[in-house]
Structure 1
Amino acid sequence: MNHIYTSSDDFFHDLCLLTEAWCDRRCLHALADVLPAFTSINGSTDGWGELAAALKAAFLSKDALTGHERQMVAQLRRAAEDSVHWR
């Protein structure tokens, strides 16, 4: 399932849903990977690059992500990487 984000609002909405689910299930490794980059994103290519790297780390995390969450992480990472290359 490839999702194309048409706005940063859509992107961050999905990222919020994902991090909220991880909070509910105490997926601490994935949260530790993503939250620093998520909360400090500044819109620059560096910020998007850091978020893409954090999402990759979460994808490889020790936490048991659901299949749907793994898909979401992958599409969010691709979108973040695309933002780096299009800026």
Structure 2
Amino acid sequence: MIAYLLAAVAIIIAFIINWVMPLPLWRATLTSSIAIFAATTLGLLFLPLGVDAEPEQVRSWVLSILPLLGFFSILISVFVGWFLHVVRK
């Protein structure tokens, strides 16, 4: 459930940032990627994940998937930015 919540938050962040600052596209993509990366990382660290694990173990899991979170944030930012660019034209 937390993963779906964080995915929705990521899409909303990307829409807001790309809508507010549409030009240049690379700056909006970079800004929303950083915001999505920070939001998902903090969400995974501090929201309850529903597992019976030690906090140190959860922290090590989150740190091990940071490259995937970075790729996810860039992918969402590019797709949302491109979608809004096409819709505005």
Range class of TM-score, shorter chain: 0.3 to 0.5
Q: Which structure has the highest helix share of the two?
A: 2
TM, length-normalised to structure 2: 0.37
Q: What TM-score, normalized by structure 1, do the two folds share?
A: 0.38
Larger Rg: 2
Q: Which has the higher contact order (CA 8 A, sep 6+)?
A: 2
